[in-house]
Amino acid sequence: MNLISREELKSKLDRGDDFKLVMVLGGWAYEMAHIPGSITFGTPEEGLQNLSKDDEIVVYCSNPTCIASIAAYNILVQRGYQHVKRYAGGIEDWQAAGLPVEGTIAG
């Protein structure tokens, strides 16, 4: 599994790199709190329809033990997506570092 650290992810966001940051939890979780610049999809099928196999994609969910980002990573790789990384720390790690989030509980 190709992982990306919090520091690497923050640097990519700060530089404005062209990549898709995908929160793979449900829409309700996304509405509560997500990393700025993230997108989400209602279903895995919707994600597959809206992501290109050429995209650089970073998936994340809530924390290192959350299986949603592991499953999303594996599905993308199995479907031939070449540039996929998993931010294992998830929103929990991001917030613990004092980094900004967006959503109804942000702030």
Report whether 96 contacts 90 (CB < 8 A). no
Quick count: other Cβ atoms within 10 Å of Cβ 84?
24
24 φ, ψ (degrees, to nearest 5): -100, 10
Residue 61 designated active-site: yes
Q: How far apart are the first and last CA of the chain?
A: 32
Of these residues, 13, 58, 59, 61, which one is catalytic?
61
DSSP annotation of 54 = T
Catalytic residue set: 61
